Amino acid sequence: MASALPYITAGATAYGAIKGGGDKTTQSSTVDPATQARYDDLYNRAQGVAGQPFTPYTGARVAGFNPDQLAGFDATRNMFGRSLSFDPTGQLNNLAQGPLNIQQFQNPYNEQVINNTLGDLNDARQMQIQSDQDAAIGRGAFGGSRSALLESETNKKFADVAGRTAGNLRQSGFNNAANLAMGDRNFRAGLFGNQLADQYRGLGLMSGIGNQQQGLGQAGLDANYGEFMRGINYGPQQLGLLSGAVFGGTPGMTNTSSTNQGLLGRIGDAADIYDTFYGEGK
């Protein structure tokens, strides 16, 4: 039997080569049990969170106007209405285009002053003529050419002084009236300009009220839209949370390997055993 074993082995080797009965190695990986437990716990927790329904916020998110602001709005509207009821622009145009009226600024006593002044001058003339006549009488020349010449000279001086005085008084009265009229025009122009500036300020205040009200309305719209978008994004957000729980970690792995010995390997092992017991040592 022993002498026939080499032949059996050779035959088996040839048969194994023909049948392809070589060794096969299999490898597998398994998650570490402790890691797997944590993995399952995290997944279950994330699944619970992802399954929560969306709860919208129902409280107020935009502050409204307070009573003081509302009272300020009403006061501004009233001021705006009163201010805009006046037309300063038209008044300014009338001042610029209309003639300067000085009549109302003329001194009503101007003519009286002139007349009184001329009367004083005439009294002085008469006194001078009387003085000249007295002097002529004293010289015994009253009624002569010398007396007439002196009286004529006095009358001429009176006429010159009276004319200049009356002209100066009237010019002074005119200039005073014109200055007063121009001052009044400038004063009224300043008042109209201030009124116009007040209207512009009123327009700015009214615009500010509109901007505040628009801002409050827009804030409310933005808050509603933000809540809507929170609802839209809630599902994807929860899904991302669940996906992060599933794929976010790297669990511990255990690797194993096994070899499935084919027919040829088993025959080789048998030959080794045979050599051990019946080999050259026997």
For 19-35, the pLDDT digits (tens) are 444 556 667 677 778 77
pLDDT band at 46 (very low <50, low <70, confident <90, very high): confident
Torsion of CA 70, 74, 77, 79, to 10 degrees: -120
Of the pLDDT bands very low, low, confident and very high (cuts 50, 70, 90), residue 160 is confident
Query: What is the per-residue pLDDT for 266?
Result: 59
Q: What pLDDT does 142 receive?
A: 55
**DSSP characters for the chain?**
-TTTHHHHHHHHHHHHHHHT---EEEEEEEE-HHHHHHHHHHHHHHHHHHTSPP----S--S----HHHHHHHHHHHHHHHHHHTS-HHHHHHHHHHS----GGGS-TTHHHHHHHHHHHHHHHHHHHHHHHHHHHHHTT-TTSHHHHHHHHHHHHHHHHHHHHHHHHHHHHHHHHHHHHHHHHHHHHHHHHHHHHHHHHHHHHHHHHHHHHHHHHHHHHHHHHHHHHHHHHHHHHHHHHHHHHHHHS----EEEEEEEE--HHHHHHHHHHHHHHHHSTT-
Q: What is the pLDDT of residue 40?
A: 79
Q: What is the pTM of this model?
A: 0.43
Are 136 and 147 a contacting pair, CB within 8 Å?
Answer: yes
**Domains of the chain by residue range:** 1-20+262-282, 85-212
Q: Which amino acid is at 273?
A: I
Per-residue pLDDT at 110: 80
- Residue 3 reports pLDDT greater than 80: no
pLDDT at position 166 is 85
Express each pLDDT in 108-159 by its tens digit: 878 888 888 888 888 888 888 777 777 667 666 555 566 677 778 878 888 8
Q: Provide the 10 A C-beta neighbour count for residue 245.
A: 19
- More confident: 78 or 135: 78
Q: According to the model, what pLDDT value does residue 131 have?
A: 78
